[in-house]
Chain A
Amino acid sequence: MRPLVVVQDVDFAYPGAPAGRLALAHVALTVETGEIVGVIGPNSAGKTTIIRLLTKVVTPLRGTIVFDGASLAGWSRWELARHVAVVPQDMPAALPFTVEQLVLMGRYPHAPRRFFETPADLAAARAAMAETGVTELARVPVQTLSGGERQRVMVARALAQEPRLLILDEPTAHLDLRYQAECIGLLRRINRERGTTVVLVSHDLNLAAEVCDRLVLLSAGRVVRVGSPSDVLDAGRLSAVYGCDVMVTSSAVTGRPLVQVRWPEPAARGGETRIRV
């Protein structure tokens, strides 16, 4: 089976960046149909840029991105949006639309010239809302929701697109433990039941280790390593990439890698002086 996404030797720089300063350089990776791939790396490693490239918000300076056998350059925006959906980190704070109106916006790419949604669109939106447990919030304005509810509504909007590839940008960043657990449970269910391929961009290495089939470790715009969580999450490699002292053990529950930071001790001399006095 051919891969769903193939990124071939892509360079990218944002307009206005100093010449030669690439946001991404020589990036190559593939995403197979049905898998969950995690994209991890330190700040400004290029994680968000990868999302923008995969969704054609920006185009590569060099190299190509192939989705389902055809170069992204040949996909129209709305055709691509029928297959690729993004759950953003957050939405604008002031958004007066109701939950149902927002989720229905996910139906736009399925009939961009139509002025009103059809009953079929409404059915797809309601199914997505049921799946993420926000049905009872249908008439509530989005701007009054809590962080966990907003997250589920954004997932519902993405599911209403009925995508083959779901990209999540830091899905658990603003969530407490319970909502993190719900979010991950939902993600796994979508992947298993709908067969949706998932790209998960996250700072949370332990979450990525638990959920993902494969990980892509980025650093300063380059792919450092691609492989299984236990292969990529190596203490030496992470220490080098993140610039701090990282330990990797394995989870007592699942056997997956468990990443910990050895926090630096306070500056030794000052502490000792005080104790002596």
Chain B
Amino acid sequence: MIERRRLVLVLASLAGALAVAVVAATFLGSARLSPGEVLAVLTGRADASGTESVVIWGVRLPRIAAAALAGGALAVAGAGFQALTRNPLAEPSVLGVSSGAALGVVVAQLMGPAGGVTDALRLTVFGFAGAVTAGVVVYLIAATGAGLPVQTLLLAGVIVGMFFAAAITVVTSLVDINRLGGIVHWLLGNVSAIPPRALAVFAMLGMVGFWLIAGQARQLNVLALGEEAALQLGVNAERLKLRVFVGSALLTACVVAFAGPIGFVGLIVPHSLRMVVGPDHRLLVPAALVGGAIFLLVADTLARNVVAPAELSVGVLTSLCGAPFFIYLLRTRYRGGL
């Protein structure tokens, strides 16, 4: 069928673009390595314990993997929340879900260091609890008998986000001053190289979240007609919404656990892709996974190169792009309310 062929085509082109981005990111960095040195390391001709090898294998490639995973997960979570609320401005950070996850992760960080597999699980579980709490609170504030009005939902998200941010400040003020710097750095939204085992845990949890959303893509299309119409077409709307909410919250929690609350990726990527592949979630959700990976990888590569040898937080960069993007969408598409 046409749709299946389109999906393959879209994913193949995006995968090609991702490969280009990965290669570019491998060659770029504040440690000035020549292309020849990078190639020598990649082909195994360089000294395995030399600086070049450590930079490539120990720093750049793990960071590339972490950035790609975080970007893909956030973009899919954004697409999930947008389908769930039928609100194109919904996104983990706008809905306050990221802040909820961040509070959970901060609490988990106080309980011990990060790094191992069990630490990764603990951070994600606490982050997930925070994300679900924030999501449920936002829903309860915004829900009316007739649905989720756009403005109320956004306001509820902002307010809940502010509340959780304040709660994070309270918790961090209890922290030992020596660890405070790390937590503040993480709160800005930073991708850093994390141990491969921990990364594998996050990737697997992320795949569960992705599957909960992508597996329901056809039903999500039907849900766009409204809940009653979806029920009348045979969609179990309650179960669908629960799965997509759990999936989106899990993806958000995963990313927040290792990269902090990086904002607006879930807004920018699905919107840009919708212009290319259209609104069909069977194309959009898989495309968001790869497109989000490209976006955050490029953003992170910029963040660690533009002010080298210093570094920008990638979360700062995405917010600098995302806030104007949000305003643009608000002004052009939703002027006068929806």
A contact residues vs B (CB 8 Å cutoff): 52, 55-57, 76-82, 84-86, 88, 91-98, 101-102, 105-106, 108-109, 112, 114-119, 122, 161
For B234, give its contact among A78, A92, A115 (CB under 8 Å): A78
Distance between Cα atoms of A105 and B282 in the complex (Å):
13
Question: Is the Cβ of B218 less than 8 Å from the Cβ of A115?
Answer: yes
Our pick among B219, B221, B231 for the contact of A57 (Cβ within 8 Å) is B231
The answer to whether A97 and B1 touch (CB under 8 A), given A86-B232, A105-B233, A108-B234, is: no
Interface centre among B218, B219, B235, B236 (most CB of A within 10 A): B218
- Complex Cα distance, B150 from A88, in Å, reads 22
Interface pair B4/A108, CB less than 8 Å apart: no
**A119:B234 contact, CB within 8 angstroms:** no
Q: Complex: how many Å from CA A108 to CA B86?
A: 19
B225-A57 in contact (CB<8A): no
Q: How many angstroms from the CA of A95 to the CA of B230 in the assembled complex?
A: 14
Please tell me if the beta carbons of B278 and A109 are within 8 angstroms of each other in the complex. Answer: no
A213 CB, nearest partner CB in chain B, Å: 24
Residues of B near A102 (CB, < 8 A) are 225
Q: Determine if A86 and B221 form an interchain contact, defined as CB atoms under 8 angstroms apart.
A: no
| Contact partner, A91, options B1, B225, B278, B279, Cβ 8 Å | B225
> For residue B279, which residues in chain A have a CB less than 8 angstroms away from its CB?
96-97, 101
Residues of B within 8 A of A81 (CB): 232-234
Residue of A77, A94, A105 touching B236 (CB-CB under 8 A): A77
Cross-chain contact A55 with B3 (CB below 8 angstroms): no
Q: How large is the interface on B (under 10, 10 to 19, 20 to 34, 35 or more residues)?
A: 20 to 34
> A80 — which chain B residues lie within 8 A by C-beta?
234
Please determine whether A105 and B228 come into contact, CB atoms closer than 8 angstroms. no
Tell me the nearest residue of chain B to A122, going by C-beta: B1
Q: Are A55 and B231 in contact (CB under 8 A)?
A: yes
B233 engages A95 (CB within 8 Å):
no
Assembled-state Cα–Cα distance A85/B3 (Å): 25
Q: B233 contacts which of A52, A93, A101, A108 (Cβ < 8 Å)?
A: A108
> A residues within 8 A CB of B3?
116-117
Task: Return the 9 tightest CB-CB contacts between A and B, nearest first.
Answer: A78-B234, A81-B234, A109-B234, A96-B279, A55-B232, A77-B234, A86-B232, A57-B231, A116-B3
Give residues 50-92 of B contacting A (CB, 8 Å): 86, 88
Nearest A-chain residue to B88, judged by Cβ: A94
Distance of A86 Cα from B228 Cα, bound (Å): 10
Q: For B35, what are the chain A residues with a Cβ–Cβ distance below 8 Å?
A: none
> Known contacts A55-B231, A95-B225, A116-B282; can you find 6 more A-B pairs with CB under 8 A?
A77-B236, A78-B234, A92-B224, A98-B278, A108-B219, A115-B282
Can you offer 7 A-B residue contacts whose CB atoms are under 8 A?
Answer: A55-B231, A76-B234, A81-B234, A95-B224, A98-B278, A109-B234, A115-B218
* Contact status B232-A96, CB under 8 Å: no
| Complex Cα spacing A212 to B219, Å | 35
Contact of B231 among A77, A94, A112 (CB under 8 A): A77
Cβ–Cβ < 8 Å partners of A88 in chain B: 226, 228-229
B222 within 8 A of A: yes
Most chain A CB within 10 A, of B224, B274, B280, B338, is at B224
Contacts between chains A and B (CB distance < 8 A), count: 84
* Contacting pair B234 A96 (CB below 8 A): no
A182 to chain B, nearest CB (A): 23
- Chain A: interface secondary structure? loop
- Chain B residues within 8 Å of A119, by CB: 1
Taking a contact as CB atoms under 8 Å apart, the answer to whether A161 and B233 are in contact is yes
Residues from chain A with a CB closer than 8 A to the CB of B86 are 92
Q: Which residue of A lies closest to B86 (CB)?
A: A92
Check if B225 sits within 8 Å of A92, measured CB to CB. Answer: yes
Complex CA–CA separation, A81 to B219 (angstroms): 14
A94 to B233, CA, bound (A): 19
Residues of A within 8 Å of B236, CB to CB, are 77
A109 in contact with B225 (CB, 8 Å): no
- Shortest CB distance A58–B (Å): 9
Q: Which residue of A lies closest to B226 (CB)?
A: A92
Determine how close the nearest CB of chain B comes to the CB of A259; give it in whole angstroms.
30
A94 touches B234 (CB 8 A): no
Tell me, in angstroms, the Cα distance from A95 to B226 when the chains sit together: 10
- Within 8 Å CB of A82, what residues of B? 234
Residue pair A108, B235 in contact (C-beta under 8 Å): yes
Given A57, A114, A118, which contacts B232 in the complex, CB threshold below 8 Å? A57
The answer, yes or no, to whether B217 is at the interface (CB within 8 Å) is yes
Residues of the B chain whose Cβ atoms lie less than 8 Å from the Cβ of A76: 234
Q: Indicate the member of B4, B228, B232, B274 with the most A CB atoms within 10 Å.
A: B232
Please, which residue of chain B has its CB at the minimum distance from the CB of A85? B232
- 1/0 per residue, CB under 8 A from A, across B238-267: the answer is 000000000000000000000000000000
- Provide the residues of chain A in CB contact with B219, threshold 8 Å: 108, 112
The reply to whether A105 and B225 contact each other, CB–CB distance below 8 Å, is yes
Across-interface contacts of A108 in B (CB, < 8 A): 218-219, 222, 233-235
Q: How far is the CB of A78 from chain B (nearest CB, A)?
A: 3
Q: How far is the CA of A250 from the CA of B282 in the complex (A)?
A: 54
Expressed in whole angstroms, the Cα–Cα distance for A91 and B232 within the complex equals 13
